[in-house]
Amino acid sequence: MATASLIADSTQIAQGAEAVSDPPSRNTTRKVYKAYIHTSFDSDAKVPILLKHRFKKQYRHPSLDANLTRARVAGEARALLRCLRSGVSVPGIRMVDATEGVLGVEWIEGKSVRMLLGGGAEGEEEQVSDSEEFFDDTTDAGGESVSHVDPLDEYQVTIDEIMGLIGSEIAKMHKADIIHGDLTTSNMIIRHPFAAKGPSPTKLVLIDFGLAYTSTLVEDKAVDLYVLERAFASTHPDSEPMLFAVLEAYKKGMYKDWTTVERRLQDVRLRGRKRSMVG
Amino acid sequence: MEVYDYPHFNLQAAICLFTDVKNGPEIRKRIIEAATCQGEEGEALRDAVNFAFVDARLITSILHLQTAVFYALLTQSQGCLRTKTVHSEILWALNPSNNISEAIRRYGISDSTTSLLVIEISVLPSHHDKIKAIVDGTVSPFPRLSEITDWATIKKYHKLNGELAIQHLRDVATAHAMIDEIVVSTVATKSVSQ
């Protein structure tokens, strides 16, 4: 099939830095590629896209596998489109082949918030599209770090600014009743200032809507925030002030909806992500 | 005129932008004639206008058109075209709704068309002259597209007037970039839209 041969011609992207030494497919549900779909004969200007391939699972019955793959690709594409229409900063969609399980999105040149905050790069969900030299910056962090530029300086952002952006983007998303389902710092990318497009580029981009769904429930929004809170706590030391800044911005974005979410978030913190089904 | 290669489909797509088109109604008549004519004569007529004619006013960027072309190629390769030819599939992909005749009415050539994008999908597009023989207009470079685009109509067709994404944007250029992104993504998700 055409999409299969497109993937065969694309370069698989290392997901996370240790993939340099490891086999690149640590993630067992999908693979990520860099591809070019519109090659012109007349000019060399090539724009890459990112292909996300949910490959066939041998352990599932073929027809069930086809159905699930189709539904998930379609779901992710729809969630992205909904986000775009609601003004949430997400990558644009370039192609969808639900039968083959392929989703093609805009290529974003940048680094995940996780990497910028020095949280390492062992994340399985890592989908960062770094060029080689950025890669080296993080992999040999143990070496002569004196000569290295602070990534925050290179990206011209401060930690406070990043936290503010995270909060306001999540607020925009929740106001549109979209629940991300997997909010972690590796699913947020800061666009490289040199790769910024348009007159007032969005710096922070939310990615990986594979677990996203729509819901108006306060519970779901609170759990979404709680997942982020736990992700912060487990990957970044001294996460409390950062989280505080995120929630401040979120509060501003949500206006009067904040109080109900806040109350619920406190409940969720006490009991955990799963609501008890007893009684 | 630019030619794009799609090696995975074994096909190429030639895209040509015409401005100051003077014979819009005539082209339209020719297409309808070719479509209704039968027999060998009909084949010859159809072969002469075997292109996609897209009203350039409704195209936000060349990526917008490319995305529709890619969509058409993909559905053709899977054998699930919703319309009769790969060329009409491009028009159908551009329109946000599922209605084929509406897609052709809106995005196809009309009597008021003055700027036109002509697309040819084939194994080896070699008919530069063939396209130029049909359209009476000036061949223009793609960047001129931004002067032609009719943003108000695009917003109406894609129901973007009430959307949060562009409501708060004061800057015209930013708003246009945003609309372009939404429109391109809408075309790309055509196969999974409800």
Contact A62, A87 (CB under 8 A): no
* Contacts for A247 with CB less than 8 Å, ≥ 6 apart: A167, A225
The distance of B181 to chain A (nearest Cα, Å) reads 6
Tokens of B82: 């919703």
Contact B187, B93 (CB under 8 A): yes
| Portion of chain A with pLDDT greater than 90, in percent | 51
The mean per-residue pLDDT over the stretch B71-92 comes to 94
CB atoms within 10 A of CB A22: 12
Contact B139, B18 (CB under 8 A): yes
Please determine, for residue B157, whether its predicted confidence score (pLDDT) is greater than 60. yes
pLDDT at A277: 62
* Domains assigned to chain B: 2-192 (3.30.2380.10)
Higher model confidence: residue A221 or residue B193? A221
pLDDT at B1: 83
- Which residues, given as ranges, of chain A have pLDDT below 70? 14-28, 119-148, 195-202, 276-279
pLDDT at A196: 57
Q: Which chain B residues are closer than 8 Å to A38 by Cβ?
A: 4, 63, 66, 70
pLDDT band for position B142 (cuts 50, 70, 90): very high
Residue count of chain A: 279
- Best of B3, B5, B8 to disrupt the A interface (most A CBs within 10 Å) is B8
CATH architecture of A2-142+149-271: Orthogonal Bundle (1.10)
CA-nearest residue of chain A to B194? A78
Closest Cβ–Cβ partner in A1, A74, A199 for B192 = A74
Compute, in degrees rounded to 10, the torsion defined by CA atoms B75, B81, B85, B91: -80
Is A84 within 8 Å of B165 when comparing Cβ atoms? yes
Count of alpha carbons within 13 angstroms of residue B58, beta-carbon side = 25
Instruction: Identify the weakest region by mean pLDDT among A181-185, B21-25, B67-71, B160-164.
Output: B160-164
The mean per-residue pLDDT over the stretch B13-28 comes to 93
- CB contact A23 to B (< 8 Å): no
Q: Which runs of consecutive H residues, i.e. helices, occur in A86-147? A: 113-116, 132-139
The catalytic residues of A are 182
CA-nearest residue of chain A to B158? A85
pLDDT band for position B127 (cuts 50, 70, 90): low
What does the alpha-carbon distance between residue A61 and residue A161 come to, in Å, rounded to a whole number? 47
Tokens of A9: 């011609």
Distance of CA A213 to CAs A83, A107, A174, B160, Å? 11, 23, 11, 22
